[in-house]
Amino acid sequence: MLEGHISKAFDGALAALHIRVLEMGGLVLAQVREAARAYTSWDALAAERVIARAADVSGYDESIFQDQFTLIARRQPVSRDLRAVFVMEKSVAELERAGAEARKIARTVLQQSGRPARATSSDVRQLAQLATGLMRLSLEALDRIDGALAAQVIAYDEELDAEYAAGLRRLLTRAMEDPRHLDIAMEAAFVLKSLERIGDHARIMARHVQSLAPQGDPPADEGRSDPLDDRAPASPSSPAADPAAPANPSTSGHDAP
Amino acid sequence: MSSVEQGGVNLKPSGRVAGTSTSLAEVSISQTVGQLTVPDPVFSCRDVSVHYGSKQGVRDVSIDVGKRQVLAMIGPSGCGKSTFLRCLNRMNDTIAGARVTGKILLEGRDIHDRQLDVVQLRARVGMVFQKPNPFPKSIYDNVAYGPRLHGLARSRAQLDDIVCTSLQRAGLWDEVKDRLSQAGTGLSGGQQQRLCIARTIAVEPEVILMDEPCSALDPIATARIEDLIDELRASYAIVIVTHSMQQAARVSQRTAYFHLGSLVEVGETDRVFTNPRHKLTEDYITGRFG
């Protein structure tokens, strides 16, 4: 919907901006995945890679801002084109913040204060799967400028919030049962919070996409595979279920934090 | 509501009302999208069509022009916007074979009324053209011509006062006050255009029509004219035809988009340029069609 200008150069400039934002989104998604894996596997090398690539995320932020600035100055976009430029800008801001959360998680690993217990890792893994699934879906909505898909992201964020609350409760219960590792539990709580925030950024991005998408989009295809499942290809199983996690995490056993 | 009663004349829209809205402000006449009517309009046009022989240049255009606001008319070349503009002071009467139908009311009175003096009409509805066209006379005489013709000044002092005031309001006084006897044609393009505006406002019109007034001017002169338009808006209704969408966005409060002789959409400029309702409008202003 961003193409079709008489000036092909204008089409090209808008498309290039769109692609740059999606590229940045791909990088942020990889950062979030790697940071979560670094935490759950307690992998310092992976965490270092996340920190090293953080500069690339900032680089995208700066260069996309320059592209937007040039496009506005040279093309003076109006109406949906202007909205598109602003949606790109707002999406970049959300991606930058999501990238910062990934960096926080990686720093937690590098501090090496203590490896989380298996049950905590499992909770983080499950929430990370939901958060990255949401981010991937939001980027897909931005790619296709798909209002229906964006609406799904917004709806699924509630599921992530519920999972975050449940994970936090389990973590606190384990910490109360064994207060010797309270510091590790607190760090794990911050990691869970970061993942929940990443889901929020994906939701906010989806809201921006909705403002750009043509009105009256058809409802989402109910028969589609679960879009929240971050594993590729999309699995038809229950939402983002981690095969290693208990069937009902809210009732899982309480071991050390 | 399907008709407007104003000034004793029944303004009946074509009846091709789109949608189910019953609000006069929202009613769509002749399939035009947007808000055609304004409270207390200076011009009310209904179902205005213009034919040149067998060719139709304007089709069933219905629109109001509000007091103390700028209405910008945009659209691709040949869409009928200039032709419609020329209907408002009956300039099309001078074109052989041109036939105008429909109602055009100025302050509630039909401008095609046989008892209406066209010269008086053109004093009430002044016009500024694309190319500055000062008379081959002095700067003073260019501005004094209209007031003399219409007997607006009883004495030389009064005429001097009108010339001075008009040049001041056109933002030209400081640049020409010491050379009023010099030829108007000796001024720069931008100054000539402002002289033409001074000449237009010297006869105290109610409406000023502008047909691409800046297309022959450089950006600085254009900015001066646009600034002047904004100042003149406090006293007059202004209808401007422009090919520059940025200019329409900058100077107008309402924008009308014409396409193939029809008025496609009209509304608040802020809305038209941020959230147009008709796809043709959006495609035009975003540069996807022209």
Q: Is the pLDDT of residue B9 over 60?
A: no
Chain Cα centroid distance, residue B79 = 16
pLDDT at B65 over 70: yes
CATH of the domain at B13: 3.40.50.300
The answer on pLDDT for A243 being more than 60 is no
Nearest by Cα to A42 from A115, A125, A124, A120 = A115
Q: Does A4 touch chain B (CB under 8 A)?
A: yes
Distance CA B288, CA B176 (A): 44
Which tokens in the block code for residue B73? 């008319």
Provide the shortest C-alpha distance from residue A1 to chain B (in Å).
11
Least confident of A22-26, A178-182, B61-65, B132-136: A178-182
To the nearest whole percent, how much of chain A has pLDDT over 70? 83
B287 dihedral zone (left: phi>0; alpha: psi -120 to 50; beta): left
Does residue B92 sit within a domain? yes
CB B87 within 8 A of CB B58: yes
Does B286 sit within 8 Å of A81, measured CB to CB? yes
Name the band, by pLDDT with cuts 50, 70 and 90, for residue A205. very high
Q: Is the peptide bond before A233 cis (omega within 30 degrees of 0)?
A: yes
Pick the residue with more confidence: A176 or A224? A176
The chain A residue lying nearest B246, using CA atoms, is: A76
* Minimal-distance CA residue of chain A relative to B245: A78
CA dihedral B26, B28, B33, B39 (to 10 degrees): -50
Which structural domain, as residue segments, surrounds residue A148? 8-251
> Do A78 and B249 make contact, defined as CB atoms within 8 angstroms?
yes
B227 in a structural domain: yes
**Is B86 inside any structural domain?**
yes
Answer yes or no: is pLDDT of A66 > 80: yes
Highest mean predicted confidence (pLDDT) among A26-30, A234-238, B111-115: A26-30
Percent of chain B residues topping a pLDDT of 90: 81
Number of domains in chain A: 1
Asked whether residue A256 is domain-assigned, the answer is no
> What average pLDDT does chain A have?
84
CA A171/CA A163 separation, integer angstroms: 12
- The predicted pLDDT at position A255 comes to 37
Give per-residue pLDDT as tens, B156-215.
999 999 999 999 989 999 999 999 999 999 999 999 999 999 999 999 999 999 999 999
Q: What is the pTM of this model?
A: 0.78
Residues of B in contact with A4 (CB under 8 A): 283, 288
Nearest to B285 among A4, A7, A79 (CB): A79
* Residue A215 predicted with pLDDT over 90: no
Q: What is the pLDDT of residue A183?
A: 82
Lowest-confidence region among A41-55, A86-100, A170-184: A170-184
Domain membership flag for residue B281: yes
Tell me the residue ranges of DSSP E strands in A72-217: none
Contact call for A7 and B286, based on CB within 8 A: no
Query: Per-residue DSSP letters for A6-50?
Result: SSHHHHHHHHHHHHHHHHHHHHHHHHHHHHHHHHHHT-HHHHHHH
- Any idea what the CATH number is for the domain that residue A246 is in? 1.20.58.220
Contacts (Cβ under 8 Å, ≥6 apart) of A163: A126, A127, A130, A249
At A189, give phi and psi (nearest 5°): -65, -40
Q: What residues contact residue B187 under an 8 Å CB cut-off, 6+ apart? A: B134, B139, B176, B195
pLDDT of residue A226: 45
* pLDDT value of residue A245: 36
> What's the CA gap between B57 and B258, in Å, rounded?
11
Which residues, 6 or more positions from A121, have their beta carbon under 8 angstroms from its beta carbon?
A: A39, A40, A41
The whole-number pLDDT of residue B290 equals 53
Q: Is residue A2 part of a domain?
A: no
pLDDT higher at B83 or A1: B83
Quote the pLDDT of residue A133: 96
Cβ of B273 within 8 Å of Cβ of A79? The answer is yes
Quote the pLDDT of residue A174.
Answer: 87
Q: Do A82 and B282 touch (CB under 8 A)?
A: no
CB-based contact A5 B288, cutoff 8 Å: yes
Q: Quick one: pLDDT at residue A161? A: 96
At residue A254 the predicted structure's pLDDT band, cuts being 50, 70 and 90, is very low
- Whether A5 has its CB under 8 Å from any CB of chain B: the answer is yes
> Is the residue at B290 inside a domain?
no
Strand partners, B228: none
Average pLDDT over residues B54-79: 95
In this prediction, residue A112 has a pLDDT band, given cuts at 50, 70 and 90, of confident
Mark yes or no for CB contact B288/A78 under 8 Å. Answer: no
| CA distances (Å), origin A241, targets A245, B199, B265 | 7, 79, 52
Predicted confidence band at A35 (pLDDT cuts at 50, 70, 90)?
Answer: very high
pLDDT of residue B14: 39
Confidence of residue B17 (pLDDT cuts 50, 70, 90): very low
| Residue A62, min C-alpha distance to chain B (Å) | 26
Does residue A186 fall inside a structural domain?
A: yes
Q: What is the pLDDT of residue A175?
A: 85
Report in angstroms the alpha-carbon separations of B268 from A142, B206, B247, B275.
30, 21, 15, 10
Q: Which residue has the higher pLDDT, B146 or B28?
A: B146
Q: Is the pLDDT of residue B40 over 50?
A: yes
Measured in angstroms, the CA of A161 and the nearest CA of chain B are apart by: 34
Is the predicted pLDDT of residue B25 greater than 60, yes or no? no
Residue span of the structural domain in which B97 resides? 4-285
A150 lies in some domain:
yes
Model confidence band, residue A115 (pLDDT cutoffs 50, 70, 90) = confident
Measured CA to CA, the distance from residue A26 to residue A91 in angstroms comes to 13
Q: Return the pLDDT at A219.
A: 40
Q: Which two tokens stand for residue A24?
A: 């940045």
Any domain includes B183: yes
What is the total count of domains within chain B?
1
Non-local (6+) Cβ contacts of A1 within 8 A are A80, A145, A214
Sequence letter at residue A111: Q
Mean pLDDT over each residue of chain B, to the nearest integer = 88
